[in-house]
Amino acid sequence: MTKKKAHFLGFIQHGVSSHATGMWRHPKDKVGWDYASPPYWHHLGQTLERGLFDAIFIADELAPYNTYADSSDTTVKYAVQFPTHEPSTIVPVIAGATRNLGIGVTLSTAFEHPYSMSRRLSSLDHLTGGRLAWNIVSSYSKSEWDAYGSTMPDRSLRYERLHDYIDLCKKLWSSWDEGAIVADKVSGVYADPSKVREINHDGPFFKCRARHFVSPSPQGNPVLWQAGSSDAGRDFAAEHAEAIFAIHPTVERMRAYSEDLKNRLVTRFSRPANSVKLIYGVQVVVGETRAEAEEKYEFIRSLVPKEGSLAMISGQLGVDFSQYDPDRPLADIAVPGIQGVKDALVESGAGKTVTIGEAAQTYSLRFSMPALVGTPADIADQLEDFMDRGGADGFMLLATYTPGCFEEFVDLVVPELQRRGRYRTAYTGTTLRDNLRQTD
């Protein structure tokens, strides 16, 4: 029986830190690199492409977290995903330095109309030669709504609004028919109006009467990524996504999620069971020996500031944890933020009670992803288990110090996976969608 080959994405942010708080303190972080300048992004993209990654995944947060103590002071003080630059601005920079690497950009639907969003994404798909993905998010962090001077809408409307949003984007992307561009210099006719359909959308949240302003891009539309964890979120992902990013602390939870998503694909949306790639998050710390890797990981853990970690989890879960004893069990706290994050953190203790303080440190370092710490063979063993027992199609690698953590993975783990026949040895496609579908 042919064994499944892994797909890899590199999780990064356009800022000082890429989620893992305090990494700017690491003596190997961005040595000789300026994250705000193109050479850093050229090198990072080329490193991932050298490792045959499907894509770089650019995460985002729209404003500094301000839930903790009703202020963003702690966020600023400890560089908790701060500062963070706008993510789509580096897409052409990375694309210009690579030929095959896909580029996934996180863009929120909360504060931009679908018409301008679809136009921007089509433009970026052109500029990348068909290597763009869109990670669809809807902004459920209080700080983001405060920054835009808006009131956060009722959570129950979140996915109703998202469905209307994506429906309009898809209508626009598919509105140019084949042969629409005539480009007849003699007659002066450039495009056939009958083949560039005007969209008249009158949805519950959005209205639009216009033609899509961008000619069809190489992929037609960007690859759609989603991270649904709630019941409604899983349905949305199963209906629309081509790849799903999920965070589960154990192989058992990965397996349960995989089975649930495949069931929804088939029974609710009549899509093939394997038509969506399931990408699970992991944080990798690799060493030549297990002892070396464990020493590296303990040092990385020591860099996470306690108060900064509480500011981060407060922002994500929508609870001011400055008002709680950090030794109180997280399970006891009701959260208005991302429920799936809380659930994964509660279960990250493998049966033990997880306190607020423990959850904050875990989240600020690795969400609640498994930490894979060991030799290249150790890491490959665990990744194989997540594929074979957990149903993973691939993995999102959460950064620690950059670009070193990705360089080490490419130099040490990738050859081990290739030796085992569990990873590609070349790109075979011309677009990101092609490479995500690659199985050989």
Strand runs labelled E in 22-166: 55-59, 102-108, 132-137
Q: How high is the mean pLDDT of the chain? A: 94
Give rounded-to-5 percent helix, strand, coil for the chain.
Answer: 45, 15, 40
Mean pLDDT confidence for 148-160: 87
Mean of pLDDT values over 192-213: 98
pLDDT of residue 337: 64
**Which residue type is seen at 287?**
G
- Does residue 404 have a pLDDT over 80? yes
- So what's the pLDDT on residue 158? 87
- Helix 356-366 to helix 306-317 angle (10° resolution) is 90
Q: Output the pLDDT for position 110.
A: 95
Mean of pLDDT values over 7-13: 97
With a cut of 80, say whether residue 1 has pLDDT above it. no
Pairing assessment for the beta strands 181-184 and 189-191 based on DSSP bridges: antiparallel
Residues in contact with 295: Cβ distance below 8 Å, sequence separation at least 6, in sequence order:
287
Gap between the Cα atoms of 121 and 139, Å rounded: 18
Task: Report the alpha-carbon distance of residue 340 to residue 404 in Å, rounded.
Answer: 30
pLDDT tens for 11-43 read 999 999 888 999 999 999 999 999 999 999 999
Task: Name the band, by pLDDT with cuts 50, 70 and 90, for residue 349.
Answer: low
What is the reported pTM? 0.95
The per-residue pLDDT for range 49-77, each reduced to its tens digit, is: 999 999 999 999 999 999 999 999 999 99
Check residue 153 and give its pLDDT: 83
Which pLDDT does position 207 carry in this prediction? 98
Paired tokens of 11: 């999780």
- pLDDT-derived band of residue 211, with 50, 70 and 90 as boundaries? very high
Q: Are 292 and 368 in contact (CB under 8 A)?
A: no
How does residue 351 score in pLDDT terms, banded at 50, 70 and 90? Answer: low
Question: What percent of the chain clears pLDDT 70, i.e. is strictly above it?
Answer: 98
Residue 342 has pLDDT above 90, yes or no: no
Query: pLDDT higher for 157 or 430?
Result: 430
Residue with the bigger pLDDT between 271 and 332: it is 271
Q: What is the pLDDT of residues 276-323, one digit of tens each?
A: 999 999 999 999 999 999 999 999 999 999 999 999 999 988 899 999
Residue 65: closest CA among 280, 321, 262, 242: 321
| pLDDT the model gives residue 350 | 57
Q: Is the peptide bond before 403 cis (omega within 30 degrees of 0)?
A: yes
Which of 28-32, 134-138, 338-342 shows the lowest per-residue confidence on average (mean pLDDT)?
A: 338-342
95/130 Cα distance (integer angstroms):
10
- 423 secondary structure, DSSP code: B
Other C-beta atoms lying within 10 Å of the C-beta of residue 101: 27
Instruction: For residue 99, count other CB atoms closer than 10 A to its CB.
Output: 12
Distance (Å, whole) CA 101 – CA 41: 12
What confidence tens digit (pLDDT) does each residue in 94-126 have? 999 999 999 999 999 999 999 999 999 999 999
